[in-house]
């Protein structure tokens, strides 16, 4: 499919360019039938209320029902949300997603007694149960629940919290609809043709070599955010306040700890990341100095930080070519890995191209029994979409291998680990492209792209993480949240990370109102730690050819806490940050020497 300047409708896409959701449900009717069946049985778990300590058999029956129902509801939610992401404007798809969330909320309410009752059991009784071989499949979640003991509320309180889950994501949903559907950014003239300006096309337009195109796209885009800034600020305020509320009622010291505790990640890991990235900011500022020099501009503006610095390199990867490159780049991971990935392409794991109403960005979404689906908004021009394809494929292969090598109860790895799998694939792609393009210009282009990938994944995401921490801490200390507070706080961070070299228009601080991940608090730091850890894995893999440490890490799924899983493969956060910041500096040095020679 050739990239068009106008956005097609869903019906105009070829079938082979869309994903096949039938590994979840054969049809909408099949989904409706399963929804009806689950609605009819969602209260069955209640018959075990007050009985978990009655006998081992009852204990096991309750766990069997709990996890089998969750496995089924996982598919219900996935199908509804994936279908909705195809067209956020379709009311039937939106309704289906709401039905799925309602079912999930009611099930959560019906089963809300489970954890409080389990952790209230005498430790001797739980230990007795765990001695039986039949309970071993549930050992991991039982231990995790026992660990949460001091933060779990009473049965009645947990039920109240479960009942409000359907509404807890209202701010996030409103943000998504507002920014993906209601907000209209107009068109931009590019090479004599009008191109739709959208959330997905903005980055592409900011990479245009015509500075006027970049400037016009930037200000036209943020003009629409300016028009909705008060609404967006109110939505984000609600999201932050909800995070703080949940942490307080569970007696966590902070909302950040509330988020990190489940993964057994110390807050010191978060702080260390920010400190170490601050230490590396001089290298980042040196890159912006080089960027200004190479672009030949008097002042480097915020809309100049994404354009490739090598204007004489024309790069285009139609989707089929991108798949071919992906398989070659991933070859160090072994024949089995690549053959599974290739079959996934053929089996339509991927929804490839942008269409009207489709969710922007990219993601991977899997269930235990389905394909690990990938949503893209693929563009052939440039190299960003190629890297995004490898990134999401890393997530999907992690899901595939974790499901294949674990039970349902232990297959689900953490988001902290997920970003390692995705960014390692990007590392392999960078390596493959660098060593299979003899042109000096192309090598410089690829090194520039590698630097930009570090900037976007390690530095930028750490800046986001720092913003989240500052905002949540401010709210927890009784500070008021407002548009002015958000934009002033964000502007200070922009100035810190970009330095004096980059000119920041007033509207630059509105960027804090357009980051979807801010509605999943304390998520983005995992991108930065992920690329750092994947640097360790990639360096070892490419130097030794031994892919077993990394593949074993993927196959372990959720059998243990993420730092334990990493440690079993020889990776620590300190070592990872050392290697990642060192590689960034070395890549910048290589790029600078080649670029200045040109």
Mean pLDDT, residues 228-235 taken together: 97
Does the pLDDT value for residue 69 go beyond 70?
yes
For 27, 141, 531, the CA distances from 559, given in Å and listed in that order, are 34, 10, 22
Buried b / exposed e along 28-63 (16+ C-beta atoms within 10 A): eeebeebbeebeeebeebeebeeebbeeeeebbebb
pLDDT bracket for residue 10 (50, 70, 90): very high
Task: Say if residues 475 and 242 touch (Cβ distance below 8 Å).
Answer: no
Catalytic residue among 86, 224, 392, 592: 392
Which residues does 360 contact at the CB level (< 8 Å), separation at least 6?
179, 180, 198, 199, 200, 354, 377
**pTM for the structure as a whole:** 0.82
DSSP letters for 496-533: HHH-TTEE--GGGGGGGGS-GGGGSTT-THHHHHHHHH
pLDDT bracket for residue 5 (50, 70, 90): low
Specify the pLDDT at position 2: 41
- The chain-wide mean pLDDT, for the chain, equals 93
Specify the pLDDT at position 382: 81
Q: What is the per-residue pLDDT across 199-229, written as a single tens digit (0 to 9) for each? A: 888 988 998 999 999 999 999 999 999 999 9
Mean pLDDT, residues 482-491 taken together: 98
Cα(443)–Cα(112) distance, integer angstroms: 56
Does the pLDDT value for residue 41 go beyond 90?
yes
Q: What is the per-residue pLDDT across 313-361, written as a single tens digit (0 to 9) for each? A: 778 999 999 999 999 999 999 999 999 999 999 999 999 999 999 998 8
Task: Say if residues 255 and 521 touch (Cβ distance below 8 Å).
Answer: yes
- DSSP 3-state of 187: strand
Joined together, the tokens standing for residue 409 give 């109860």
Mean pLDDT, residues 359-369 taken together: 93
Specify the pLDDT at position 3: 44
Does the pLDDT value for residue 1 go beyond 60?
no
Q: How far is CA 374 from the centre of its chain?
A: 12
Joined together, the tokens standing for residue 8 give 């097609």
Q: Please state the φ and ψ torsions of residue 392, each to the nearest 5 degrees.
A: -70, -30
CA angle 181, 184, 190 (to 5 degrees): 125
Specify the pLDDT at position 150: 84
Q: What is the per-residue pLDDT across 514-537, written as a single tens digit (0 to 9) for each? A: 999 999 999 999 999 999 999 999
Bridge partners of 365? 373
- Least confident range of 166-180, 203-217, 260-274, 453-467: 166-180
Specify the pLDDT at position 67: 97
392 in catalytic set:
yes
Would you list the domain boundaries of the chain? 10-168
Element (H or E) spanning 578, and its range? Answer: helix 573-597
The CATH homologous superfamily of the domain defined by 10-168 = Oligopeptidase f, N-terminal domain (1.20.140.70)
How would you class 510 by CB atoms within 10 Å of its CB: exposed for 0-12, middle for 13-18, buried for 19 or more? buried
């Amino acid at each position: 499919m050739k990239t068009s300047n106008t956005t097609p409708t869903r019906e105009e896409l070829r079938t082979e360019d869309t994903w096949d959701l039938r590994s979840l449900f054969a049809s909408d009717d099949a989904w409706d039938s399963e929804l009806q069946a689950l609605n009819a049985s969602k209260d069955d778990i209640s018959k075990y209320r007050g009985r978990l300590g009655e006998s081992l058999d009852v204990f096991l029956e309750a766990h069997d029902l709990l996890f089998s129902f969750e496995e089924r509801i996982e598919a219900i939610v996935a199908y509804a949300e994936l279908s909705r992401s195809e067209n956020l404007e379709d009311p039937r798809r939106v309704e289906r997603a709401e039905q799925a969330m309602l079912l999930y909320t009611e099930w959560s309410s019906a089963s809300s007694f489970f954890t409080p009752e389990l952790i209230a059991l005498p430790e001797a009784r739980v230990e007795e149960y765990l001695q039986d071989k039949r309970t071993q499949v549930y050992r991991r979640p039982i231990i995790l629940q026992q660990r949460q003991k001091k933060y779990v509320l009473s049965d009645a309180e947990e039920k109240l919290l479960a009942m409000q889950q359907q509404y807890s994501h209202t701010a996030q949903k409103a943000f998504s609809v507002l920014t993906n559907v209601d907000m209209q950014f107009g068109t931009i003239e590019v090479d004599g043709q009008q191109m739709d300006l959208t959330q997905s096309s903005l980055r592409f337009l900011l990479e245009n070599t015509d500075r006027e195109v970049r400037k016009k796209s930037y200000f036209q885009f943020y003009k629409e955010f300016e028009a909705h800034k008060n609404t967006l600020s109110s939505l984000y305020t609600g999201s932050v306040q909800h995070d703080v509320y949940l942490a307080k009622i569970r007696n966590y010291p902070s909302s950040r700890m509330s988020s990190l505790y489940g993964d057994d990640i110390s807050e010191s890991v978060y702080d260390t990341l920010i400190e170490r990235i601050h230490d590396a900011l001089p290298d980042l500022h040196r890159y912006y100095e080089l960027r200004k020099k190479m672009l030949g501009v008097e002042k480097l503006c915020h809309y100049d930080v994404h354009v490739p610095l090598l204007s004489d390199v024309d790069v285009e990867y139609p989707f089929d070519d991108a798949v071919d490159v992906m398989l070659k780049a991933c070859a160090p991971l072994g024949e089995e890995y690549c053959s599974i990935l290739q079959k996934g392409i053929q089996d339509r794991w991927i929804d490839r191209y942008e269409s009207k109403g489709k969710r922007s960005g990219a993601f991977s979404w899997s269930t235990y029994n389905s394909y690990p689906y990938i949503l893209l908004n693929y563009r052939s021009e440039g190299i960003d979409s190629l890297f995004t394809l490898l990134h999401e494929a890393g997530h999907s292969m992690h899901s595939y291998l974790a499901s294949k090598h674990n039970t349902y109860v232990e297959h689900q790895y953490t988001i902290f680990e997920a970003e390692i799998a995705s960014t390692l694939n990007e590392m392999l792609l960078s390596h493959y492209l660098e060593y299979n393009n003899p042109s000096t210009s192309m090598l410089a282009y690829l090194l520039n792209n590698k630097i930009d990938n570090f900037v976007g994944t390690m530095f930028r995401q750490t800046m986001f993480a720092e913003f989240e921490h500052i905002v949540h801490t401010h709210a927890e200390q009784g500070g008021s949240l407002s548009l002015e507070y958000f934009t002033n706080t964000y502007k200070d961070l922009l100035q810190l990370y970009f330095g004096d070299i980059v000119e920041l228009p007033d509207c630059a601080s509105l960027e804090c109102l357009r980051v979807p991940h801010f509605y999943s608090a304390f998520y983005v730091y995992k991108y930065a730690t992920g690329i750092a850890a994947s640097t360790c894995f990639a360096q070892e893999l490419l130097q030794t050819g031994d892919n077993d440490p990394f593949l074993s890490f993927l196959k372990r799924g959720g059998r243990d806490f993420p730092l334990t899983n990493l440690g079993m493969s020889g990776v620590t956060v300190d070592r990872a940050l050392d290697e990642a910041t060192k590689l960034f500096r070395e890549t910048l040095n290589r790029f600078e020497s080649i670029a200045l020679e040109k």
